Structures are given as structure tokens and as C-alpha cells.
Amino acid sequence: MIRGIVKGANGRTILLLGLDKEGVRRLTSGEPVFVDGRTVGLETLDVVVMYGETIRDVMQELKKAGIKLPDVPQVGIPFDLSARAKRGKDDK
């Protein structure tokens, strides 16, 4: 995995995470990727990357990993996806 902090063309800070084929294989096999923020200079932040076929799958994987989630709108799911989930339609 490539990880780092870089400056974007607009001057904003970018957290850079790059996964290779093995990282993707692990993600799709249900193994989350954990990044200790201290490895990129973020002393109080860690990063978890999860994979799922749907948003619900991702949320279930997070729960299995022991990560307590707030309500759906607070975890950054776009409004149209959470609205579809509430209606019971596929949330891909």
C-alpha cells in the first residue's frame, strides 16, 4: 500500500492511499485495511478502508471490525444512496 500526505493543485491537503492487487484481494475477501495515521504524520487519526458490494455490506463489515457507526447521514453516504436504502431499493 502507498500512503502519504500530499498537497493538491488547489492547495488542500490530500490523504493518499493506493492499493495494489493484493490489497484489493484482501479487501474483497473481507479483510479491512487499517492505516496507523502516525505513519503519515496524523498523530490523532487512523484510517480504515472497507469493501462491500453495497453500502449495507460495508456497514456490516465495519460493525464486524468493531467500529461503532453513527447514523447513516453522518458517515458521508451521499443523500441519494441513503434515500434509496430507506425506500428498500438496491443501494449500489
Backbone angles phi, psi at 86, to 5 degrees: -65, -30
The single-letter DSSP state of residue 55 is: H
Q: Is 17 helix (H, G, I), strand (E, B) or coil?
A: strand
> Is 82's pLDDT higher than 70?
no
The residue extents of the domains of the chain are 2-7+14-87
Strand partners, 3: 17
pTM: 0.62
What cell numbers appear for 16 in the block? 493518499
> How confident is the model over 41-63, as pLDDT tens digits?
888 988 888 888 888 888 888 88
pLDDT value at residue 92: 42
Cα–Cα distance measured from residue 42 to residue 16, given in angstroms and rounded to the nearest whole number: 12
Rg of the Cα trace of the chain?
15
